Amino acid sequence: MNIHVIKTRIGGVVFEGSDKMDSIIILLNTIENYINQKLEVFQQLLTLTLEQEKVLEHEEVDLQSFEELLNTKDNPIQKLDQINEDLSLILDQNEQLLSSGLEAHRDQINQIRYKLEKLSSLGKDISKAEETNKEKIEQQFNVKRKDISAFKKSKHVASKYNQNMSDTHQSDMSYFMDRKK
């Protein structure tokens, strides 16, 4: 009995299997692994976004805490970008393998679909929380702008008042009050 070894390139790694079925199993496992990684990253991003929302709920927003959370989100976002790039490469390189022979792997494919739906749901939750945060931070900025505008206006009024008072008062003039009624 002759067994042919099939080499399959998945991402940057070459896998060896005895037949096409082994290659498909390896490929589906790899895809599922990447999707699991994306789920973890999405969950991290959702958690951080909800923490940002809590920071923004206070009347006086702690901008330092908000910025720290924003910076903390950089690593998961970079990791997500890398996962997406790797997964895209794998899917592109194995398009032909994925186009046939998947019927035997219906259960695993359904599991992958379920996880993709979960990813989509998490993505919507993150997007909704981000939109809420954006609205809250815009409200905070509007309040600060109004405060600054009111401060400038009162400073301008005080300046005009002082200018008028200094223009009307001359050093050789004296002021007195008449106590008679």
Where do the domains of the chain lie? 6-130
Residue type, 97: L
- DSSP-derived letter for residue 100 is S
Q: How many CA atoms lie within 13 A of 140 on its CB side?
A: 17
- What percentage of the chain exceeds 90 in pLDDT? 45
Task: State the average pLDDT over residues 33-55.
Answer: 96
pLDDT on residue 108: 92
Query: Residue 133: is its pLDDT beyond 50?
Result: yes
Average per-residue pLDDT in the chain?
82
Task: State the average pLDDT over residues 122-140.
Answer: 93
Q: Select the more confidently predicted residue: 138 or 81.
A: 81
Task: State the average pLDDT over residues 46-65.
Answer: 90
Note the helical H segments in 62-105. Answer: 63-72, 74-93, 95-98
CA distances from 68 to 56, 109, 128 (A): 13, 39, 21
Q: Which fold has domain 6-130?
A: Methane Monooxygenase Hydroxylase; Chain G, domain 1 (1.20.58)
Instruction: Give the C-alpha separation, 17 to 26, whole Å.
Output: 9
Query: Residue 79: is its pLDDT beyond 70?
Result: yes
CB atoms under 10 Å from CB of 91, counted, come to 15
Q: Select the more confidently predicted residue: 167 or 68.
A: 68
> Residue 10's pLDDT band (boundaries 50, 70, 90)?
low
The answer to whether 39 and 120 have CB atoms below 8 angstroms apart is no
pLDDT on residue 151: 72
